Amino acid sequence: MNRLLFAAWLLTILVLINAFAGQMSACLMVKTKTPKVNSIADIARRPYMKVYTLKHSEMTRYLRTTDRPAERKVWRMVLRDKSDIHGLYRYPESMMAEVLRGKAVIILSEQVSLTQVNRYCKGQRIGEFYFGDVRLFSYHFGAYMRRQLPQYLRRRLSEITSRLVESGIVYHYHNAKLVPVGHCCRGESRSELNFSDMVSVFYLYAICCLMSALVIVAELIIGSRAECTSCT
């Protein structure tokens, strides 16, 4: 009887552990993220990708004239797909969909990309955009002055502009105008936990109980036969 109670207790613990472990594995399940593209070298290692950039821009000039192997390979990818576009300041829907699927990347200024990503996400699209960790190029603030301006006035304007930049006001204004990029809405599906989701655990419990009962019956039969043999 003691062994029977111990077996029943052990089976109950086994069922509870399996049920708890199954629920925890379902709750903690995390989708594996695909490797991110953070640099030109990462793009070069993915020749299947489409590289969108602004035609006749500083970035295309750099890709076209540099001697670095990775940049040259990326430029050949741009020429292959003819993806250097005139006036790329409003991203087409098809291009954004390619980026979401991991089939394309965009090389352009952060301000333009942030604005277009937020515009695209307002349409209740499902997905996530990100910026690479390696900055490819930087824009420098500048100003144009007419040559006919007096020398002292040009000098004075240059001093004011330099002070604004050095004080950080210009960069603060620039960063304040950057629209924060967020996640597009993500698809979620929820369903209640039913008995059918847990029925396999109870099947295991029933099989273990049946096996225990068979072992006990076999022990009783063998024990009774042994007693009969000893009596004779």
pLDDT tens digits for 34-90? 788 889 999 999 999 999 998 888 888 889 998 999 999 999 999 999 998 887 778
Q: Which two tokens stand for residue 189?
A: 């599906």
Q: Are 136 and 59 in contact, with CB atoms under 8 Å apart?
A: yes
| pLDDT band at residue 117 using 50, 70 and 90 as cut-offs | confident
Give the span between the Cα atoms of 218 and 125, in whole angstroms: 64
Length of the chain, please? 232
| pLDDT band at residue 123 using 50, 70 and 90 as cut-offs | confident
- How open is the CA angle 212-215-221, to the nearest 5 degrees? 145
Sign of the CA dihedral with 179 first, then 183, 185, and 191 last: negative
Q: Which of 105, 122, 133 is nearest to 183 (CA)?
A: 122
Q: Is the pLDDT of residue 176 over 80?
A: no
Per DSSP (E only), the strands in 56-124 are 84-85, 104-107
Average pLDDT over residues 119-130: 77
Give the span between the Cα atoms of 152 and 97, in whole angstroms: 53
Sign of the CA dihedral with 48 first, then 49, 52, and 57 last: negative
Average pLDDT over residues 197-207: 70
pTM of the model: 0.56
